[in-house]
Homo-oligomer: A and B are copies of this chain.
Amino acid sequence: MVRVPFVYQRTIRFQDTDAAGVVYFANGLSLCHEAYEASLEASGIPLNTFFGKSDLAFPIVHASIDFLRPLSCGDRVEIHLTPSQTSASQFEIAYCVYLAAALEKPVILATTRHVGIDAKARSRHNLPPFMVNWVAQWGTPGKIPG
């Protein structure tokens, strides 16, 4: 079975850019987070409840980003997203951002690491079934721990 990563399409907006004429570096991570949100929606997870109104939360504890070339206003990009569960309470997402017109070579590579917590107590909490299913739907099978 071949798994296809989740793909999110987006046009770079004027607001994403800075006075150097290209995407402001931190906005590269925001682009990736949008793809994450779209993948949650695609799995039927309601975003309004998920972000800020739920007993469980999955805050980002680590993120990294590499820029292979700059992005400009109007550029059409595709973000390919692959989640993997890394412990009972933790998952990571790998993002490859491509120009839609040049899918052979990424322009941005990024990762985010998320920890499941009880939103009130802010203590660690195992990933609930809907998140395990979300990882299984879009993720790399071999990376899901037993």
Bound: A112/B26 CA distance, A: 11
30 contacts between A and B (CB under 8 A): A11-B37, A14-B20, A14-B33, A14-B37, A15-B24, A15-B26, A15-B34, A17-B18, A17-B19, A17-B52, A18-B18, A18-B19, A19-B19, A19-B51, A19-B52, A20-B57, A20-B59, A25-B29, A25-B33, A25-B59, A25-B63, A26-B27, A46-B74, A48-B74, A52-B73, A59-B67, A61-B66, A62-B66, A63-B65, A64-B65
Residues of B within 8 A of A46 (CB): 74
- The size class of the interface chain A forms with chain B is 35 or more
Q: Closest CB-CB distance, A43 to chain B, in whole Å?
A: 13
* A7 contacts chain B at the CB level, 8 A cutoff: no
A4 within 8 A of B: no
Interface residues of A in 114-144 (CB under 8 A from B): none
Residues of A in contact with B (beta carbons under 8 Å apart): 11, 13-15, 17-22, 24-27, 29-30, 33-34, 37-38, 41, 46-48, 50-53, 57, 59-67, 70, 72-75, 112
